[in-house]
Amino acid sequence: MFLTHLPNDINTEQRAAITTTEGAVRVIAGAGTGKTRTLIERYCYLVSTLGIAPKNILCVTFTNRAANEMKRRVRAVLGDRDLGYICTFHAFCVQLLKEDIHVLNYPRNFTILDMEDLKQILQKIFTDMGLTLRDTTIKRTLDEVLEAKKLHATTYIDDIYQLDNEQLKARYSDARDRDEEIFLRYLYEQKKCFGVDFNDLINFATWILEHFPDVRQKWQDRMQYVMVDEFQDVSKRQYKLAQLLSGKHGNLFIVGDPDQTIYSWRGSHLRLFLDFNQVYPAAVTVALTTNYRSTPEILTAANTLIEKNQVRFPKSLHAVKASGPRARYFHAKSDKDEADWVVAQIQTLRAAGVAAGSIGVLYRAHYLTRMLEERFVENKLPYKIFSGIAFYERREIKDIICYLRMVTAGDDLAFLRTVNVPPRKIGKKKLEALTLYGEQHRLTLYQSLRENLDTDMLKGTRAKSYVAAIDALGQHRQTLAMDTALQTLLDQSGYEAYLRLQGDQDRLDNVAELKRAVQRAALDEDATLEDFLAQIALFSNLDSEEKPDTVKLMTIHSAKGMEYPYVFICGLNEGVFPSRRISSLEEMEEERRLAYVAMTRAMDRLYLSDAEGVANDNLVKYPSRFIFDAGEENIEYVVPLEEGLKTGLLRAITAGDEQLGNMAARYDVSDRVDHPVFGGGVIISVHERDAYYAVKFDALPTERNIQFSALHKGE
């Protein structure tokens, strides 16, 4: 006998979304309107009321965290069941491949390659091909390889399937250009270890379903109901997979909020959501518009903000919660003042009995946590970095600190961390030999290295340059300011160049932030490197003990789907948020959606803050346009903004937008264009990332690369 399941406190729209189980269904759910809850209730309804087995329901969530939370809540209703098909697309693909990858001649225990594995493969290819930073960076190459896999999702698997290792090798030897060679070498390396990277998971699964009718039929029979959460951030390939899987029974349910699309850079597109009813003409659309989460004041500010976007699906949300205070905004004179204000507000809340765990602090980029963490630690406020790692625990920061420690302490731990980063050909065997030598002569590893610099053991390594960099820092630190000495070390050790070669912008931002911390410390002429390191050690050790009730710090991307009674959005500065890295007006709209996601996480109180000063790129910081987009009347200004700041901001916005407009590609391959000097020509290729076209002008023998802004429509 089955339980019937449908709670009393759901509204009419939610009920429709839960009980419309057959066919294609699209639910457009505004922020805080109970989308997650509806999805859970729908799952329980399918199982308890309709009697469908969980093994016949695929419910795709955006993150593992969301899947686990959903399973937990479903189990609370249905009891302990196997809910393996409540999972992310990736986790589902792993399950499918475990069952069926043998059709591709891969073993069931194939290896899933993570980002570090991919970088290692590329590092090997770089070495084999003799590539350097002058050619490209690992990150850029990785992006290109992954992009190529998206673009040629079927053909590269044809190659993996049809060619054996020797044939793949022959293919890369005959490659037409460098990029093709890198890509083919990459395929070769991954096939050699039966590796499957993140992109392959979905591509392999789709390819198998498309090429093997028996396998397709099995999975289509199984997936009687397919539900996709956070559909606004689903990529074309994921959508295709969901369509394939629901191909037989036709029960495809999608739910999401187009205003919360924040992953366009991973391939999600508003259009997939908006055009769903054209792809499925019989689709039923349900809109959830009652916001249960936020006070009317918070919702009005968020709605006012998102209405500034041009491309959107208009909808009006209404709040049912009782009225509360307006969002409070503080403009600080420095990032330290900003962090102090956040801390003071949190302390006031805690004094009033608010638990630390009901407070979320959100920011656009990881590097912004440094100042917050320092102020939190100094004020003994318990916190946890919810997404990612505490600032002083991050790999690149630890590496640099260990380099500095090589000068102050020269200890073995710092040595082991730095001696082969960047790679200097000092591997495990050599380290063992140095350890033995050190034990015999009662020396540290560094001293042992120094004593053996001219021996055969270290021939062919770059041990000398390592020692030279550390010695140079040792000498300079007496005469140079701490920040200059640090820069010398970063240059001479090759560490910064190494990071640039990796090309990971987040890591470079963290290093820039560390330099700022050193600069600040260097303002005190008496401060020593030892003092600085001792101070940092304090920041890093405190975090080790687990505290139950902590303020959560996180990037906005990882705050997706979360809610907190009290939400702080920090670092609201032009160039930080919206990020300076965006290159089109569409991306500006995505930044605004991100701001919308951030604001709608707040249930009772919302706090916004920014700081004057200079940004990572040394430009003057202005308050973010998003503060004004939310409507001046909807925000309580703790300090009034000076007129000069507002005019400066408006000028910066206008100039920035004009530049963004110019950076958007307006023409396509084969379009005729006109140039003020070269005259007429034809577009040969479009390079979005660097904002230029390759153009073959009628009057010139060879092509020219021309910036987007310099061309007009031709005859």
Peptide linkage before 623 cis (omega within 30 of 0): no
3-state secondary structure of 319: strand
What's the min distance (Å) between Cβ of 36 and ligand ATP? 3
**According to CB under 6 A, which one of 13, 16, 26, 32 is a site residue for ligand ATP?**
32
Q: Residue 86 Cβ, how far from ligand ATP at the closest point, in Å?
A: 15
Q: Give the binding range for ligand ATP (CB under 6 A) out of 24-32, 54-62, 142-150, 629-637.
A: 24-32
CB atoms closer than 10 angstroms to residue 322: 8
DSSP 413-428: HHHHHHTTSS--S--H
- Among 583, 590, 588, 582, smallest CA distance to 556 is for 590
254 binds ligand ATP (CB under 6 A): no
Q: Which of 292, 498, 637, 678 binds ligand ATP (CB under 6 A)?
A: 292
Pick from 16, 18, 24, 37 the residue near ligand ATP by CB under 6 A: 37
**What is the rounded distance in angstroms from the CA atom of residue 392 to the CA atom of residue 517?**
11
Nearer Cβ to ligand ATP (11/56) = 11
Cβ nearer to ligand ATP, comparing 421 with 597: 597
Exposed / middle / buried, residue 643 (Cβ in 10 Å: 0-12, 13-18, 19+): exposed
**Binding of ligand ATP at residue 10 (CB under 6 A)?**
yes
> Residue 233, interface with ligand ATP (CB under 6 A)?
no
Q: Rule CB under 6 A: choose which of 25, 34, 87, 510 binds ligand ATP.
A: 34
Site stretch for ligand ATP (CB under 6 A), options 8-16, 171-179, 371-379, 636-644: 8-16
The count of chain residues that interact with ligand ATP, using the rule CB under 6 A, is 18
Cβ-based nearer residue to ligand ATP, 74 or 501: 74
Distance CA 36, CA 288 (A): 11
Nearer to ligand ATP, 11 or 277 (CB): 11
- Give CA separation, 308 vs 125, 312, 483, 624, 630, in Å: 46, 10, 42, 14, 9
Annotated binding-site ranges for ATP: 29-36
Place of tokens 């395929």: 187
Contacting residues for 660 by C-beta, under 8 A, at least 6 apart: 582, 583, 584, 585, 587, 588
CA distance 404 to 504: 22
Q: How far is the CB of 56 from ligand ATP (least distance, A)?
A: 24
Q: Segment near ligand ATP (CB under 6 A), from 10-18, 239-247, 477-485, 646-654?
A: 10-18
Residue type, 324: G
Q: Judged by CB under 6 A, does residue 358 bind ligand ATP?
A: no
- Ordered DSSP codes for 53-79: -GGGEEEEESSHHHHHHHHHHHHHHH-
- Whichever of 9 and 82 has its CB closer to ligand ATP, that residue is 9
Closest separation in Å from C-beta 299 to ligand ATP: 11
Please name the amino acid found at residue 586: E
Residue 617 bridge partners (DSSP)? none
To which residue do tokens 């980029």 refer? 365
Q: Does 171 bind ligand ATP (CB under 6 A)?
A: no
258 near ligand ATP (CB under 6 A): no
DSSP 256-269: E-GGG---GGGTB-
Span near ligand ATP by CB under 6 A; candidates 29-37, 267-275, 632-640, 654-662: 29-37
Q: 26, 42, 171, 293: which one contacts ligand ATP (CB under 6 A)?
A: 293
CB of 597 to ligand ATP, least distance (A): 7
CB 64 within 8 A of CB 88: yes
Largest CA distance in the chain: 83
Q: How far is the CB of 569 from ligand ATP (least distance, A)?
A: 15
2, 4, 8, 9: which one binds ligand ATP (CB under 6 A): 9
Q: Cβ of residue 34: shortest distance to ligand ATP, in angstroms?
A: 3
- Shortest-Cβ-distance residue relative to ligand ATP: 34
Determine, following the binding rule CB under 6 A, whether residue 280 of this chain makes contact with ligand ATP: no
**Site residues for ligand ATP, window 98-127 (CB under 6 A)?**
none
Is 36 a binding residue for ligand ATP by CB under 6 A? The answer is yes
Would you say the C-alpha torsion 92, 98, 103, 109 has a positive or negative sign? positive
Distance between CA 271 and CA 256 in Å, rounded? 13
Quote the least distance from Cβ 515 to ligand ATP, whole Å: 37
Distance CA(183)–CA(177), nearest Å, equals 10
From first CA to last CA, the distance across the chain in angstroms is: 74
**10 vs 645, which CB is nearer to ligand ATP?**
10
Contacts for 278 with CB less than 8 Å, ≥ 6 apart: none
**CA-closest candidate to residue 376, choices 356, 396, 402:** 356
- Residue 552 zone, left/alpha/beta (φ > 0; ψ -120 to 50; rest): beta
The one segment of 35-43, 421-429, 673-681, 705-713 that binds ligand ATP by CB under 6 A: 35-43
Q: In the complex, what is the shortest distance from the CB of residue 600 to ligand ATP, in angstroms, rounded to a whole number?
A: 5
Residue 692 and residue 710: Cα distance in Å, rounded? Answer: 9
CB 579 within 8 A of CB 571: no
Smaller CB distance to ligand ATP: residue 465 or 558?
558
Dihedral (CA of 177, 179, 180, 184) sign: positive
* Nearer to ligand ATP among residue 264 and residue 289 (C-beta): 289
Per-residue contact track with ligand ATP, 567 to 606, x per CB under 6 A?
A: ---------------------------------x------
Candidate residues 24, 28, 29, 202; the one interacting with ligand ATP per rule CB under 6 A: 29
Nearer to ligand ATP, 32 or 503 (CB): 32
CB of residue 285 to ligand ATP, shortest distance in Å: 16
Whose structure tokens read 């409540």?
86
Taking a C-beta distance cutoff of 8 angstroms, is the pair 621, 629 a contact? Answer: no
Out of 17, 33, 418, 521, the residue judged to bind ligand ATP by CB under 6 A: 33
Is residue 26 a contact residue for ligand ATP (CB under 6 A)? no
Least Å distance between CB 231 and ligand ATP? 11
Q: Which is nearer to ligand ATP, 255 or 372 (CB)?
A: 255
Candidates 6-14, 154-162, 210-218, 305-313; binding stretch for ligand ATP (CB under 6 A): 6-14
For residue 692, the surrounding DSSP H or E stretch is: strand 692-697
Q: Considering the rule CB under 6 A, would residue 35 count as an interface residue with ligand ATP?
A: yes
Residues at the interface with ligand ATP (CB under 6 A): 9-11, 14, 29, 31-37, 257, 292-293, 561, 563, 600
